[in-house]
Amino acid sequence: MKINQFAQSHPDLSTIKKELQLVGFKTEQTDAKKLFYELLKQIQINPTSSSNFQEKLNQLLATNQERLGDFFSTETPLSAEVFYLVALQLLGFQPTVDFKIDQPLESVIKLNLFHHETIDTTNQLIEAWYDLLNTHGKNDLTLLDSIAAKGYFTKSEFAPNQPLFFKGKAQATFLAKDFKYETVYVQTDFDSDFDGKNDLLKVEITRPKTDVKVPVAYTASPYDQGVNDTLGEQLTHNVNQDLTKKVAGEIKLTEPQPLKHGTKQKTTDSTGQATETHQPKPGYTLNDYLLVRGFASVYVAGIGTIDSDGLQTCGDPQQTASTIAVIEWLHGDRIAFTNRTDGIEIKADWCNGNVAMTGRSYLGTLAIAAATTGVSGLKTIIAEAAISSWYDYYRENGLVVAPGGFQGEDADVLAGETFSRSLRAGDNFKIRPTFDKYLKQMEADQDRVTGSYNQFWNDRNYRNQMKNIKADVMLVHGLNDWNVKLRNPYELWQGIQDLPIQKKLILHQGQHVYINAFPSFDFSDIVNLWLSHELYEIDNHAEAILPNLIVQDNVQPDTWYKESNWPNNSTTHKKVQFDREIFKNDVPQANFLQYSKNPQEWRNQIFNIKDKTLQDNRVVATAEFDKEITINGEVKLQIQVASDTNLGMLSAVLLDYGDAKRLNENPTILARHGVPLGYRWYSDDLREFTLNKKATPFKLISEVHLNLQNRTSPAINEPIEPNHFYNVELNFQPTFYRLPKDRKLTVVLYSTDYEMTNRNNQQISYGVIPEATLAIPFN
């Protein structure tokens, strides 16, 4: 077990004393040991007699031979050893298992906790105590958060429902029982459902009760009002489709069409009081964590969802306009009504005008979309596992390529699935014919026949507008995310490097998952420091304290470090030799059907180079290194390839070969409900990427897919001359991967990818010049 805390600052002693005072700790006592006793007494939640406090102290050890209550009645002075033995216990670490009772300081170092070497004087104690309050325990909480969850800030000495900052971070001083749950309807100035009226959008607000104006953590989630799985399944495409020849030529791209405006609803009255409420329910745990710390949480499902107008458009400019309309209202630049019919205006006068967007996947995607408009009020986005161009989600290099695990999904499928207006029979009755017509057009425009980049995808490429970004950007992405692939954060990250904004990037070892509540990494603290700065405008130096790039190591568990950039500028060109000169696409028809039914079986055979079943369907090359290398960025395979016909589709994987125990890509739950987000409030599950107990022979590092007709660009279809060798550069999805010394880098090149591409069993043979090059960006 190792704790990595990045949201750390160490101010001077007078600041420390002032801040301690703010959170209830008096530091006048001049005897260090007595002061330690007083500090310990203060963190008790229950009023307690001195005999009872003595008993409670004796639940802890001061040394390996003496209980803490007993220690206080001896003459032995306070020491760093005593302080940290007590600290380890207060932080919930388990004796013997997580720390050694007779070696507290060594244990603190091994756990990677910030610590002080010497604690003899009151000033040393004060500094150590200050840092301890901010130190993470076994339950992923700082000590101060831990006692706050038990009710510390409900003591009479604290004013409830007032912001309180400690070490630059907002503390959990807002009472969940007082939260207000309000619903309003923002009026847009576009009409996406062709009813002649501007779309109204339902906004669900949860906010602390306070006389202070609060900022907002805003999550735009098309899923939030429910999903129509059945419609999604009905729309899902059959991926068993032959590859067809594309007409050669470059696809013409223009600016998106301007939005269609409708009529406005008349304002009849105004009020300061919302009249509609909504059902309290747990949201994204990060928002819930922030709520008790003085940030309102706002959820909007947007156009095409229950109680809103409009259609689901899957990422087009109308959806972006829908997303930012809410920010415009929060910032005072747009109108909202108390309900859908009566025209009574309501202002967000409780809001300080500062907004951050949060959320993962589609939710984070809309945060990116919003940021590219440069909308006022949006101070920062925290986009996790987010799409920056929908072409990079549903297509790749001129091919239809599915998000991992979702074969047959496409923009129209996702639009249907998230069109929650269809779940309300009355509303569905009215709107469905319009939506069905829209879906038909969408199916044609997204063009599954060619898979090329066209106007539909250009309208859904947020990177076209990335120069407009004014909000600071924090990106979080899993290095094993095969749903939203790494090209999405990578291209965005490159594209914003020169913008005059703050940029932060966190790359973790998960798939398409959230990384809250991991004891090894202080993600919530990082966000807290960041948003206290961005939204409460606290001068906490978050921009300097937080590294621009944090990477979780893929070899050692619980290891996160600061890195300079993604990618680095160094590239090595490694010559590799493929094992054959030819591979074919087709397999016996029975196998084709079996692999189509069970792609995992195909995967196990084609990636396992010891398995000969599919040896005619692949070529393999292996690179060896005389020392450990860290791949940082986009590996490129430079190779000469020919197809024996006028069609061609290439797939390749980059594998880490060698028996090893590797990190699990899905978090292990360590304790269900193990992380309280506040006092009398929701909880999160404590979890971690743990090491697999069994060794595995290999692991996927990266993948790439390419239509040979798009060897230059996804928007340029070129002819293929049969049996002509083309120079092809296959750009693998970017990664950050440490390959230890004893392991090999293996490339497998093949054609149909049963898990991701359209599947065909066409008799196509590919010729390969065995000598090829891997261009490897490295650290």
Q: With contact defined as beta carbons under 8 Å apart, do 227 and 295 qualify?
A: no
Q: In the bound complex, what is the minimum distance in angstroms from residue 281's beta carbon to a copy of itself? A: 6
685 tagged catalytic? no
Cβ atoms of 138 and 98 within 8 Å: the answer is: yes
> Of the two residues 59 and 763, which places its CB atom closer to a copy of itself in the complex?
59
Q: In the structure encoding, which two tokens stand for residue 571, read together?
A: 């590239």
- 361 is annotated as an active-site residue: yes
Q: Which of left, alpha, beta for 315 (phi over 0: left; psi -120 to 50: alpha)?
A: left
Q: Backbone phi, then psi, for 243, in 5-degree steps?
A: -75, 135
324 or 670: CB nearest a copy of itself: 670
| Rounded least distance, CB 734 to a copy of itself, Å | 31
Of residues 115, 136, 512, 705, which has the active-site annotation? 512
Residue pair 331/377 in contact by the 8 Å Cβ criterion: yes
Looking at the Cβ atoms of 51 and 254, the one nearer to a copy of itself is 51
Catalytic residue (one of 192, 308, 361, 524): 361
Q: How far apart are CA 629 and CA 555, in angstroms?
A: 12
Complex with a copy of itself: residue 344 or 706, whichever CB lies closer: 344
Handedness of CA 573, 577, 583, 588 (dihedral sign): negative
Q: How would you label 219-239 residue by residue, b for 16+ Cβ within 10 Å and e otherwise?
A: bbbbbbbebbeebbeebbbeb
Report the nearest approach of a copy of itself to the CB of residue 65 (Å): 8
Phi, psi of 584 (to 5 degrees): -115, 160
Q: Shortest approach of a copy of itself to residue 212 CB, angstroms?
A: 21
Comparison of 48 and 257: residue with beta carbon closer to a copy of itself: 48
Phi, psi of 583 (to 5 degrees): -145, 155
Q: Nearer Cβ to a copy of itself, position 110 or 470?
A: 110
| Residue whose CB is less far from a copy of itself, 489 or 676 | 676
Strands 696-707 and 649-660: antiparallel
Active-site option among 481, 525, 656, 684: 481
Contact 384, 360 (CB under 8 A): yes
433, exposed or middle or buried, with CB in 10 Å at 0-12, 13-18, 19+? exposed
Minimum CB distance to a copy of itself, residue 446 (Å): 24
Q: What is the 8-class DSSP label of residue 228?
A: -
Could you tell me if residue 85 is left (phi over 0), alpha (psi between -120 and 50 degrees) or otherwise beta? alpha
Letter string b/e over residues 576-611, b meaning 16 or more CB atoms within 10 A of that residue's CB:
bebeeeebbbbbeeebbeebbeebeebbebbbebee
**What's the CA gap between 144 and 149, in Å, rounded?**
9
Give min distance, CB of 92 to a copy of itself, in A.
9
Q: How far is the CB of 50 from a copy of itself (least distance, A)?
A: 9
To the nearest whole angstrom, how small is the minimum distance from the Cβ of residue 689 to a copy of itself? 19
Structure tokens at 292: 């008790």
With the CA atoms of 24, 27, 33 and 38 taken in that order, what torsion angle do they form, in degrees rounded to the nearest 10? Answer: -30
- Which residue, 457, 404, 338, is CA-closest to 715? 457
Catalytic residue list contains 481: yes
Q: Are 369 and 221 in contact (CB under 8 A)?
A: no
Q: Taking the complex as a whole, how short is the minimal distance between the CB of residue 95 and a copy of itself, in angstroms?
A: 4
- Cα angle at 264 between 261 and 268, to 5 degrees? 175
- Chain residues binding a copy of itself by CB under 8 A are 45-49, 51-52, 54-55, 57-61, 67-69, 89, 94-97, 101, 149-151, 176-177, 183, 228, 230, 275-277, 279-282, 307, 339-342, 423-430, 673, 676, 679-680, 683
Min dist. Cβ of residue 493 to a copy of itself (A): 31
CA dist., res. 600 & res. 616, Å (int): 19
Q: Which is nearer to a copy of itself, 228 or 752 (CB)?
A: 228
Q: Which residues are catalytic?
A: 361, 481, 512
